[in-house]
Structure 1
């Protein structure tokens, strides 16, 4: 869940005409029905990679649902994010199989290597780390999902290789 102070600061930002148009398309697809709120929120998160408070405020007005109710529903589900995620999003599994096979050591390595804690995004918005209860890939534990790709039987050595490639891609983009 996001910091409440950040929420109140972002709540009244102006929503652009382009954003309004995208959201209205989503609402039209779901027939402006409050029963479809979770699907609507999922679609909004697909666009922004998180749920911006000012967009939730706009949604509240359009669906005639109190903001507090939308916020309450969206914070109940762990799939919803309230802060922007990094360009490179890392999800580390902390399920039993991964935990036993040194998943926490991998998470500590990532936090140290990237200089951020789980649940946070780097200041430059390049990396974010998230820890989840289980990714359902127990047979290949320990597991991380990096930019949507599952990486199993991970070691620190394998993570270093993966991050070397990611950093090379970042460097090549700016040359």
Structure 2
């Protein structure tokens, strides 16, 4: 019986959201008809403060929004800008849409690989950058494009990369 209680406590570890996260989530909940409709915004808020969405974060959001963890996780894993594993301080999204492909995004990716010594899905040793593909950044008329954090770069050339990356180091 005692072992069972200890085991149960480990499984039902209290989940938490900070006061700041709860306040921001409450603001979003007030804008929608049902608490669960704020799940994407809740994920974005928690990710903003923590850098990524851990299993504990999924559980905390689920409890707060009165949803199952599976429901929250299904939303978190559907959206490619919700990170379910740790990322660097800056996330580089390289557009690999057909427009960027035609405009040689591959050359940009290869140059980034060489400069940062990482491939898609990896993070630099100093935890500064994570490099990820993105299916569309919405600027096909200015391909190739990449985004670092919330900064969009259009008509990117290899010669621009050092100047762009310097802003984040």
2:22 to 14, 21, 24: 24
Q: TM-score, normalised by structure 2?
A: 0.77
Q: CA deviation at 1:99?
A: 0.5
The separation in 2 between residues aligned to 1:12 and 1:110, in whole angstroms, is 43
1:5-59 deviations in Å (ceiling 9; x for gaps): xxxxxx988766xx43223223432158123222222222222232122121122
Answer with 1 or 2: which has the greater Rg: 2
Q: TM-score, normalised by structure 1?
A: 0.74
- What is the match of residue 98 of structure 1? 100
* Larger deviation, residues 33-42 vs 102-111: 33-42
Q: Compared with structure 1, are the counterparts of its residues 149 and 13 closer, same or farther at alpha carbon in structure 2 (3 Å cutoff)?
A: farther
Q: CA deviation at 1:126?
A: 0.5
Size of the alignment, in residue pairs?
A: 155
In the alignment, is the contact (CA less than 8 A) between 1:13 and 1:54 conserved in 2? no
Give structure 1 regions of 4+ aligned residues with deviation exceeding 3 angstroms: 11-16
CA RMSD in angstroms, aligned pairs only: 2.6
Residue 161 of structure 1 aligns to a residue whose secondary structure is helix
Structure-to-structure mapping, 1:1-175, within 5 angstroms: 19-29=17-27, 30-31=29-30, 33-163=35-165, 165-166=166-167, 170=169
Residue 57 of structure 1 aligns to a residue whose secondary structure is helix
In the alignment, is the contact (CA less than 8 A) between 1:14 and 1:54 conserved in 2? no
Q: Compared with structure 1, are the counterparts of its residues 20 and 123 closer, same or farther at alpha carbon in structure 2 (3 Å cutoff)?
A: same
Structure 1 gaps of 5+ residues are 1-10, 171-175
The separation in 1 between residues aligned to 2:61 and 2:131, in whole angstroms, is 28
In the alignment, is the contact (CA less than 8 A) between 1:90 and 1:145 conserved in 2? yes
Structure 2 gaps of 5+ residues are 1-10
Q: Compared with structure 1, are the counterparts of its residues 35 and 152 closer, same or farther at alpha carbon in structure 2 (3 Å cutoff)?
A: closer
